[in-house]
Amino acid sequence: MNTEKTTLGTDYFDGVYAANDDPWQFTTSPYERDKYAATLAALPNPIYESAFEIGCSIGVLTQHLASRCRRLLSVDVSEAALRQARQRLAGSPQVRVENLAVPGTFPNESFDLIVVSEVGYYWSMPDLLKARQLILDHLEPGGQLLLVHWTPEVPDYPLTGDQVHDTFMELAGEGKPFRHLLNQRHEKYRLDLLQKE
C-alpha cells in the first residue's frame, strides 16, 4: 500500500483544468455516460432528502443526482471546475455548489446519501481514513454511501480505486457500522453501495 504520497491539492487540479476545461471528458465520453447510468441505477431510493457529493468537478454527475435529491451539497477543491459546475446547475435551486477540501473541512450537517465518485484515490491513506470517519459520523442511520472509482493504477494518484473501496469495506459486515448492499466490478471501475446500520 502506498502511504508516502500526499493528497493531491488545489494546485494540482487548477493546473489540470487550466490545460483542459473537461480533462476527463465527463461531457463526451461513452465510458462516463455508461458509468453515470450505472451510478444512478445503483441508488435504491427514488428520492434522497439530503445528499452530499464529494468532488463534483464540473458538475456532470451532479446534474444527474439533482433529480434524485431534495437537497444536494456538491463540493470540489478547484474553483476553475466549480465555475463550470455552478453554470451547469444554475437551474437546480436544490443544489449548493461550494469550494471545500474534504477531509480538512467537512460540512456540519447530516446526510442520507453521500457520494464519493472518482475522488478517493486523490487522498493520502491518512486523509482517506479521516474522510472515512467523517463520512460515517455525518451519515444518518439507514443512510447510504455510494463509492465509484476507476480501478487501473494512475502513477500521479496516492491510492488506487480498489484501495479506497477496500478501506471502506473494512467497516462493513456483522457487528460493524456498514452493511454492504451492492458491488459491481466493471472493466475499468468498481462500484460499492454501503448502508449505515
CA 17, CA 10: separation in Å to the nearest integer? 11
CA dihedral 96, 148, 171, 169 (to 10 degrees): 180
pLDDT digits 0-9 by tens, 99-136: 999 999 999 999 999 999 999 999 999 999 999 999 99
What tens digit of pLDDT does each residue of 130-186 get?
999 999 999 999 999 999 999 999 999 999 999 999 999 999 999 999 999 999 999
Structural domain contains residue 2: no
Whether 4 is in a domain gets the answer: no
In-domain check, residue 3: no
Tell me, what CATH number does 109's domain have?
Answer: 3.40.50.150
* Alpha-carbon dihedral 152, 38, 196, 54, rounded to 10 degrees: 60
Specify if 159 maps to a domain: yes
Strands annotated E in 77-156: 95-99, 111-117, 139-150
Residue 1 lies in a domain: no
Residue range(s) defining the domain that contains residue 170: 10-196
In a domain, 61, yes or no: yes
Q: Are 127 and 3 in contact (CB under 8 A)?
A: no
Q: What's the rounded mean pLDDT across residues 68-90?
A: 96
pLDDT of residue 192: 98
pTM: 0.95
Tally of domains within the chain: 1
Q: Report d(CA 180, CA 196) in Å as an integer.
A: 9
Report the pLDDT value the prediction gives residue 1, as an integer from 0 to 100. 46
Number of H helices, E strands in the chain: 6, 7
The residue ranges of DSSP E strands in 39-99, in sequence order, are 48-54, 69-76, 95-99
